[in-house]
Structures are given as C-alpha cells and as structure tokens.
Amino acid sequence: MSDAAEPTVLVRTDRGVGHVTLNRPRAINALDLGMIQALSAALDRWQDDADIDLVLLDGAGERGLCAGGDVRGLREQILAGAVAATADFFRAEYALNARIAEYRKPIVVVADGVTMGGGIGLAGHAAVRVVTERSRLAMPETRIGFTPDVGGSWLLARAPGRLGEYLALTGEAMDAADALYAGFADALVPSERIGDLRAALADRADPGTPAEIVLLFDETPGPSRLEAARGWIDEAFSAPRVAEIIERLRRRPEPEAGATADLLEASSPTALTVTLAAVRAARTLPDLRAALAQEYGLVLWFAKTQPDLPEGIRAQLVDKDRDPRWHPAALADVDDELAARALAWQPPAPLWAVP
C-alpha cells in the first residue's frame, strides 16, 4: 500500500492523550506543507480542550520519526523562482516549531529511528524528548549546501563545548547516548517498550506527569562517542574560521579528526562559513523565536542568492552522483564578509509580526 492511500498525518485521542503520527513511512515521514498544516490544526484543536492533558507525537513505520523536509521540492521552487512559496513553507514550519516549544500542554515526542533536519524541529523543542537504541539524530544541511534551521541553531549553540560547531558543520548523526549528552533528548526508552510507554501515558496513574512516566521506562545509555571526543573537537572547532578548524584537525593524531577534515574540505565553503557564524550568533540570542527569525533570513538568503543549495540537493538527492560543484569551490575564495552579509540580510517580510 502506498503512503498516499492514507492521510499523511494520523490524528486521534485516547483517554486524555492527543496522539499525532506522521504517516509517510516510505519517505521516512518527510514533511510537506500539508503535514505541517495538519499538525498545527491538531494543536489548535487540543489547546483549549479540557479533555486533552498531553500530546504524543511519533512516526509510522520503523525507519524513523522524520527524515526532514521535502528538499527536492525546495530545489524545484528555487529553480522556478518561486521564492514566495519557499517563504510560505518555512513560515509555517517555523511557526509550528515555536508552537511546540511554547505549547501550554506537555508534548512528548518519540524520536525513534531517523530524526533529521525538519524532524529535529519537531522533536528537539518538545517538553519530553524520547530516543531509542535505533535513533539517529542529525542536522545534515551543510551536506546539501545549506544551513541548520528549524531551531537547530538554538539547540546546537547550547550543546556542550564546541559540539554545536562540530555537529553543524559536519552533519554527523548522533545515537541515543550522543543525543542525550548534546542536549537533544531527555530519555532513552528501548524501542520494544514504546508501546508500553504509549499505554502508560494514556493510563497516567501514579506518577502522573509525562516526564515522570517516561522515567519509568528510561534506561541508562552506553558511553557517548561525542563525550569521548570532546578533547579534539573542542580544540579544533574553537578556531575562529573554518580554514583554521581544518588546519587544527590535520594536526591532531586522532584518525577521526583527519576524517572530519576530509569531510569539511568536500563540503560547500559558503555553507560552512555561514553556518559557523550562525551557530555562534545563536549563542547570543535571547530565545528560540529569535533563533528562528535569524534562520528564516538565512534560508531565504540561500534560496534567493546562492547556487550551492540547489546544486547540493541535485548531487545528493536528485542525480545522486555525490559530486557537487560548489561556487566558490574553495574556502580561500570565500569573501571575508560573506557571513556578516548573510546574517544581516533581511527577508522581504519578517518571520514574526512586529507588535
């Protein structure tokens, strides 16, 4: 049966739980505008419903919560010059990200399996964020010539040490232990117990809060790879510029450091330069909404002015030749003021209405 045979978002209630399930399993529940609107409508419906005490968000299938947004469609919009449609999508998505963070009822998200890009925007800002032994969380935008968004820069900026810069520039995936250590998750629940967790959230006997109920199923993760690598990551990724990060990585004895340098040298110089500045700028911002507003300006700047974004999507996801032709091709050719200009660029209309 194809994904199109059923609604792409399943919405139902069970004993005080508003339950929403992303339902495009063949696409690892990748988000489109209709799904964002359906999620937003469910939250609207339950916000003042006295019979709903909490919201549970998960994904259909065993592959993941959400692989991200429809970047192939984004490329088509960019090539067609449909910037207004691009802006509409991101405005709706970012409003949903902020809504999840600010919702007056607890939202529990089960980030089982692949949770990347737009999936982080759904899972990362919830009140209770559950991962499993199958979880793989990442913000891989630089690999397509883009920059972390959906509030990802806010989460990355608050990761320990320089993990935010590392994760943002490399797009590396986190397992459950890494996600807990980096601040992207709150609890590890084995995938075989997720059904029991759903039932317990609906029963809500004693203890009563969602966080307390999740803790009944929480297990201690194994060691975090990221925590063990903090020494070389912090030393290299504290450098002021991407080129110097690569130089520091080349001087490190760890094999992982050299592999990371190779990865960065193959990535979009523009995306790396802007992303490094964006994560560091997010550390100075007051809240998630401010970070989303910064990201909104950056994503439209990429969509309107930068050839690397459609080229990166082509190379990774359309033609899949894994041979993007970046412009400029080398970090040495990136204008020293590029990141400052990107951060200062103003979208045609602000993300949030000015009071």
Catalytic residue positions, numbered:
69, 118, 141, 149
Residues 6+ apart with CB under 8 A from 311: 145, 324, 325, 326, 327
Residue 2, classified by CB atoms within 10 Å of its CB into exposed (0-12), middle (13-18) or buried (19+), is: exposed
Dihedral of CA atoms 195, 207, 184, 28 in degrees, nearest 10, equals 20
Q: Rounded to 5 degrees, what are φ and ψ at 302?
A: -60, -45
Q: Which two tokens stand for residue 249?
A: 């990585």
Task: Quote the DSSP letter at residue 174.
Answer: B
Q: Residue 54: beta bridge partners?
A: 17
Q: Tell me, letter by letter, the H, E, C secondary structure of 70-132.
A: CHHHHHHHHHHCCHHHHHHHHHHHHHHHHHHHHCCCCEEEEECEEEECHHHHHHCCCCEEEEC
Beta strands in the chain (DSSP E): 9-14, 17-22, 54-59, 64-66, 107-111, 114-116, 128-131, 136-138, 187-188
Cβ count near 55 (within 10 Å): 26
Question: Does the N-terminal peptide bond of residue 328 adopt cis geometry, omega within 30 degrees of 0?
Answer: yes
Cβ count near 328 (within 10 Å): 14
What is the layout of strands, in order, in the sheet containing 114-116? Answer: 64-66, 114-116, 136-138
Pick from 65, 125, 66, 120: which is nearest to 100 by CA? 125
Q: Which amino acid is at 222?
A: G
What are the DSSP calls for 140-164, one per residue? -GGGGT----TTHHHHHHTSSTTHH
Task: Give me Rg for the CA atoms of the chain.
Answer: 20
